[in-house]
Structure 1
Amino acid sequence: MRCPYYTGAEYHLQITPGAGFPAPAIINVKVRVLEVFEPITISPVLKVALATEPLSTDLPPVLVLKVYDRRYAKDLRAFYDIPDPSAETEEAFRTWASSGPGSQRTLDEWERKRRADDELDIEPSTEETEAYLAALLASYHENEVHIYERMVSMQGNEIPRFFGRTRFIIETDKAQSDEITDAEVPGILVEYVEGTRLDNLSIDALSPALCQKCVDIVLAFGDRGVLNRDVRLENFIVPSSPEVSTSGSEIRRDVVMIDFAQARLRGEDEDDERWKGEKWSTDEEGAIGYVLQKKCGWDYKPTFRYLVPAED
């Protein structure tokens, strides 16, 4: 079964706008894939161009479309030892999903079931694992949307602009193709930032000011009640050149953080002690600060903001 995410592919999308993007309740657009960012690890990430005619939206002409498709979550499939999808396995999964309540379980319910099965040495079926991955990817999608909505004041500067949730509109004449997208696959549409990933930047380009800015962004997330378990060099982009605003002035961005699928908001019932414990054990600040220190010799000074005092 051919992966539907490839250069030159065209999709019709329905966009539900996010906070910070003034638009009608629903927007329908057509996009064309300019590039697939490789390797695909968990979510296919695509550089797309608007192909809607006439262009009646305030969307920029080039964007990033990120989709949460269990079929092509390559690292997760390898971890759970699930083979690549085929027309036959997809048909079997859909038949299974439509014949019972199993596919309707939440992620928490799936995780409880998997723990119980593990204790009893019960091997989950391929269909159950596919359903679990679908629930897991759906949670990643919700995480990312919630983070962008919470961090709206940083959009367009320290993080990309978030334009909204997406779903694929399936064309009738492609309904029988094994290369089509899936209307049930959720996605997001965000700003495309041209630049170099922090892990690919030369040591000479890693100035103390740039390193500190990366740490400051991470700390700002914590100040707004966000815990991110995926802070790493690969998730920071240094823009290649200043951008031009609609008023014609230059917008200079030192560094932009991306990928919040494995981040979460602080729970409403999460007290200070528990929250600080989670933040301290995750150590997002150190995940970027210590790595930059090792990479370029930057004199990183941790804040110990979430230090949990030792018990007497």
Structure 2
Amino acid sequence: MNIADYKGGVWVFAEQRDGVLQKVSLELVGKGTEIAKKLDTKVVAVLLGENIKSLADELVAHGADEVLVCESPLLKDFTTDGYTKVICDLVNEKKPEVFLVGASFIGRDLGPRIAGRLKTGLTADCTGLDIDAEGGYLLATRPAFGGNLIATIVCENHRPQMATVRPGVFDKLPESDRKGEIVDVEVALTESDIRTKVIEKVKVERNVADISEANFIVAGGRGIGSAEGFELLKELADVLGGEIAGSRAAIEKGWIDKELQVGQTGKTVKPTIYIAVGISGAIQHTSGMADSEYIIAINKDESAPIMKLADLALVGDYKNVVKELIEQVKAKKMED
């Protein structure tokens, strides 16, 4: 491998489902523009599917300089074999320097398969990306050893440099009327290239909020003590117009749904206000909410790590504090 040949830009896998671009793809396009600027190159979005070319304009509007549109009836439904072959063919032809993939269910399947096929490295589940000023390497940062360490990983000897990135870590760029190049790719793919066949897709309807979109979050931890305790948190979240969430301890005890978990093994959130109730503040949790604009911690232990991270730390029995907050918010709304 001649690393010098890999100057084809910063690529982003533009994941779409049923003709809708996933938010993490737009977030990565936005971050890709920052990385591409440091490498003096372009951002290229790779879009696969059937009848999805119209999505290319949205990718350009959010920062992509070029969109490679790969359309085929065989790409209508995601298959690891089909997507891997098409993308690897493109990488071998155009030789990108960096390739970013969202750490969604699809991305966590696809990213490692592509890296294995291309014989390159991949840093999984990243929470930070940057470029080394001297060597021009991608600096991929992720929690390690159960979240007790933050590791920055470099892939010096292989290309492209790959990473999967958690949804919600980066912000997407505001939509603009910028122009970009949209390229129709001739897809060389046959049914024999795909070892699996999608027979039916069954969507499970779940009445669970997307906490990554919430402006107000009330999160509970082990200190809540029971599933019933979350009813009080839900009342506070409702009067604030927000959502409830929880730490890993709360999810493991079955008090709330796994989709509401914040932290290293959950979701990354950036609400306007994050209220942490009965949460100790281990790095496994705080890594997913530390970028919140304003953090309020409620804990009976004034020495808990979360109290040092918080902008406002309230010491006391969470039931009394939360009930008082609910009354105060209701009273304020009545005044307004």
Does the TM-score normalized on the shorter chain lie above 0.5? Answer: no
More strand by share: 2
Q: TM (normalized to structure 2)?
A: 0.22
Higher relative contact order (CA 8 A, sep 6+): 1
